[in-house]
Amino acid sequence: MLLFRLVQNEWMKLFNRVSTYVMLGILLLGIVLTAVIIFFNQTDSSDLPGKGDWKQNLAVENESYKQQEEEAFNYFTETYAINQQAINNYRIENDISPYEETNVWSYMDTNILLVQLIGVFVIIVGSSIVAHEFNKGTIKLLLVRSASRNQILASKFITTLLFGIFLLVVTFILSFIIGSILFGFDGSSVHLSAIDGEVTERSRILFLGLSYLASSVSILMLTAMAFMISTIFRSETIAIALSVMLLFIGSTATGILAMFTDWAKYSVFANTNLELYFTDGPMIEGMTLGFSIVVLIVYLILFLFLSFLFFKKRDVSI
C-alpha cells in the first residue's frame, strides 16, 4: 500500500512538471505530422499497378534476393533474402498484391517509428527522476518518511515505466483514431511474415498490436538502463547523454559486431527487438525467443541491482 502511494505521488509530481507536457506535445505533433505527410502523399487505387505488373516486379525482386542470398556474408542477411523470396512467391501464388491504398494499418505501421522518440522521453524521465531529487535536495524530504530507500527507488522506476507505456498506448490509440478518420480501412487486412522460408498470415491489427507490445520491452530495458546510469554517475546530464547515445548506436554497433562473431547475441540490443521472432527471424543463428527473454531478464536484474546498490550507498545529509 505504501508503494502504491509513493507511485501515486511520483505520478503527480511528474505531471506537475512542464517538461512532461512538452514531451506529450512533441509526441502529439509527431503523430499529426506523419498523418499530414501521408495524407498529401497517399496512394489511391488509380496509382496501383495491375496484377501482371506487380507479379513481374516481385519476380525481378526475387532474382535480386537470390543473388543476395548467394553472396550473403552473415546469417541475418542470408535469412532475410530467403524469407523475402518466400513472401514474394506466396503473394504471386495467392494473388496478394504488395501494393495497396493508404489505410489506417499502413499509417499505424509508420508511427511505430515514434517508439524511438518515446525511448528518448523515457530516458529523460528515468535519468532525471532520481538525479533531480538529489540536485534540488528534495530527496531529504523523502528519506525522513517511513518509506525505505528501496521503496522510494522502486516507486520512481515503476512511475517511469508506466509513463513510457502510457505514451505507447497514446500513440497506438491516437494513430488508430486519426488513421481511421483520414485513411479508412481499405487495403489488405493480412500481414505476411516468414521465418526460415515458411510464410505465416496474421491479422494486420493483431500484428500491429504485437509490434507495439514488443516495443514496450525496449522501454522497460531503457528505463532500467537510464536508472542505472543515473544512480552510478549521479548526474542527470551524463545519464541522459549516455543513455540516448546507447539508444541510437547500440543496435547498429551490435549489428556490425554480429557480422564477425556470435558473441554479439549476448548484447542487450541484440535481444530487445522481440518482434523479429515473429517476422524475419533472429539476428544471429541459434537465437530463440526463450534465449532473448532470459538474456533480457539477466540484464534487467543487473541494471536494477546496480541501481539499488548505488542508491542505497549514496550519502545524504539530513
When pLDDT is averaged across residues 127-151 and rounded to a whole number, the result is: 68
pLDDT tens figures, 153-187: 888 899 999 999 999 999 999 999 999 999 988 77
When pLDDT is averaged across residues 200-218 and rounded to a whole number, the result is: 85
* Residue 248: Cβ within 10 Å count: 12
**What does the DSSP 8-state code read for residue 5?**
H
Cell 505521488 belongs to which residue?
9
When pLDDT is averaged across residues 86-102 and rounded to a whole number, the result is: 91
The confidence band for 317, taking pLDDT boundaries of 50, 70 and 90, is very low
pLDDT tens figures, 262-282: 888 998 988 988 888 888 778
Question: What average pLDDT does the structure give for the chain?
Answer: 86
Asked whether residue 133 carries a pLDDT value surpassing 50, the answer given is yes
Phi, psi of 272 (to 5 degrees): -75, -30
pLDDT tens figures, 21-76: 999 999 999 999 999 999 998 877 777 888 889 999 999 999 999 999 988 877 88
Q: Is 304 exposed, middle or buried (0-12, 13-18, 19+ CB in 10 A)?
A: middle
- Identify which of 257, 258, 263, 224 has the alpha carbon closest to the alpha carbon of residue 243: 224
Q: Which residue has the higher pLDDT, 295 or 311?
A: 295
| pLDDT number for residue 220 | 86
When pLDDT is averaged across residues 182-203 and rounded to a whole number, the result is: 86
The confidence band for 138, taking pLDDT boundaries of 50, 70 and 90, is low
| pLDDT number for residue 318 | 43
| Angle formed by the axes of helices 149-183 and 289-313, nearest 10° | 130
Highest mean pLDDT among 236-240, 258-262, 287-291, 294-298: 294-298
Asked whether residue 88 carries a pLDDT value surpassing 50, the answer given is yes
Strands (E), the chain: 190-195, 198-203
Pairwise CA distance, residues 245 & 225, whole Å: 12
| pLDDT number for residue 236 | 76
* Residue 298: Cβ within 10 Å count: 13
pTM of the prediction?
0.86
Asked whether residue 141 carries a pLDDT value surpassing 70, the answer given is no
Say how far residue 115 (Cα) sits from the centre of its chain: 5
Pick the range with the lowest mean pLDDT from 64-68, 142-146, 210-214, 235-239. Answer: 142-146
pLDDT tens figures, 303-316: 999 988 888 776 55
| pLDDT number for residue 280 | 76
Pairwise CA distance, residues 146 & 199, whole Å: 57
User: Which residues contact residue 80 at a Cβ distance below 8 angstroms, ignoring those fewer than 6 apart?
Assistant: 280, 281
Q: Which residue has the higher pLDDT, 34 or 212?
A: 34
DSSP H helix total and E strand total for the chain: 11, 2
When pLDDT is averaged across residues 221-229 and rounded to a whole number, the result is: 85
| pLDDT number for residue 134 | 63
| pLDDT number for residue 212 | 84
| pLDDT number for residue 30 | 95
